[in-house]
Amino acid sequence: MGFSSATQCVIILLVFINLSAANKETCDLYAAVGSSLTLPFVYEGLTNTHVLKWTHNQTTIFYREHGKVSVGKRQDTTATGSLLLKNLHSSSAGIYQVNVSHPNGTLAKTWNKRLCIMGKVSKPQLTYVCDFKSSAVTLNCNVAKPQGLVFSWTLDEKTLSETRQTLSIPLAQLKKERSLICFVANKVSKEKSDTVRPTCTSPSPSPPALLCLTSKTAVAVLAGGAGLILLLLFIIIILCYCQRRNKSQVTLGDKGELRMTSLHKRESKSITPESETIYPTKDIPHPSPKPSPRACYQNDSQPEKERSLQLFSAAEGQQPSPVPKPRTKTPLTSNI
């Protein structure tokens, strides 16, 4: 039984702590950094005989008793007891409490509120993008730190129901000139953008999309292409070298044949029938390893030449037979 009672006490304590934390996080008043604020406390029957005491986070910041101010300045409060705050900053946030007491010490009125200090919003920049695929224009209200801000829109000075940071409008609504403005606000300030008049014209047909490659793939493709080019250059160099070598060999062979042909022509011109009779010819060795067909023909016909020379020399010892003269016919004359 005692254990259950202790458990219930712990649960109640946790609930109380959570409620206190929630109350601490709740702001009753808001003010911008660098601004001034008058805390809304009013006590109509306030006189110099009353005791007026203001505290900030349980620290006394103003105290007046019997018309005499001992903490703070007289001009910090109004005739109804409100507190004037000037040049607020982040440390000005917190709980403010006031107590008004009668001269006999009894409490006449008390008041406390939590004040939160926020920065002012910056001026937004309105941009738009024409999307012809969806036949709409998308507008974006750009602002620094958009968390916790409230957005609103006007079209031709008419407030729209959209409260998001982006706005989408069909292109059909923009056939004529339209003016749009976006607004940004928080608890302490509000700003608006410059007026924007979207103009969307259908673009020309775009070229086909290029093939997108990653950096590694591009490097691999380039390396493969470079290797292929080097291989082709190597093959071309080898082919050129082989062709030049074949040409040189053919040229040398042609020169040798021309040289042999010229030598044979000289030999044939220098050998005549008289020189063959007086100086019998002998076989002349040729410089080339392969004899030409003409040389072979001359070698084969050499015995025939020798036999003709022998017959010619034998015929020189005999006298030539007389050649008979032809007969001449006399013309017949008629007897007169």
pTM of the complete model beyond 0.75: no
User: How do residues 190-246 score in pLDDT, each as one tens digit?
Assistant: 999 999 999 887 665 555 555 555 677 777 888 888 888 988 888 999 988 888 888
Q: What is the pLDDT, as a whole number, of residue 240? A: 87
Which CATH number, 3.30.1330.40, 2.60.40.10, 3.40.50.2000, 3.40.50.150, labels domain 125-192?
Answer: 2.60.40.10
Q: Please list, in sequence order, all residues whose beta carbon lies within 8 angstroms of the beta carbon of residue 55, skipping any fewer than 6 positions away.
A: 61, 96, 97, 98
Q: Is 255 helix (H, G, I), strand (E, B) or coil?
A: helix
Centre a 10 Å sphere on the Cβ of residue 145 and count the other Cβ atoms it contains: 10
Encode 149-179 in three state secondary structure.
Answer: CEEEEEECCEECCCCCCEEEEEHHHHCCCCC
Q: Which residue's structure tokens are 């070229």?
A: 207
Q: What is the pLDDT, as a whole number, of residue 276? A: 45
Q: What is the pLDDT, as a whole number, of residue 301? A: 47
Domain spanning 22-118: which CATH class is it, in words? mainly beta
Q: What is the pLDDT, as a whole number, of residue 17? A: 45
In contact, 110 and 99? CB cutoff 8 Å: yes
Would you kindly state where each structural domain of the chain is located, as residue ranges? 22-118, 125-192
Low-confidence ranges of the chain (pLDDT < 70): 1-25, 202-214, 250-336
| Within this chain, domains 22-118 and 125-192 share the same CATH topology | yes
In contact, 148 and 154? CB cutoff 8 Å: no
Q: What is the pLDDT, as a whole number, of residue 213? A: 58
Q: Is 139 helix (H, G, I), strand (E, B) or coil?
A: strand
Q: Is 64 helix (H, G, I), strand (E, B) or coil?
A: strand
Q: What is the pLDDT, as a whole number, of residue 37? A: 92
Centre a 10 Å sphere on the Cβ of residue 29 and count the other Cβ atoms it contains: 17
In contact, 166 and 140? CB cutoff 8 Å: yes
Q: What is the pLDDT, as a whole number, of residue 325? A: 57
Measured CA distances, 167 to 126, 130, 187 (Å): 11, 12, 23
CA 294, 300, 306 angle in degrees (round to 5)? 120
Structure tokens belonging to residue 284:
């002349």
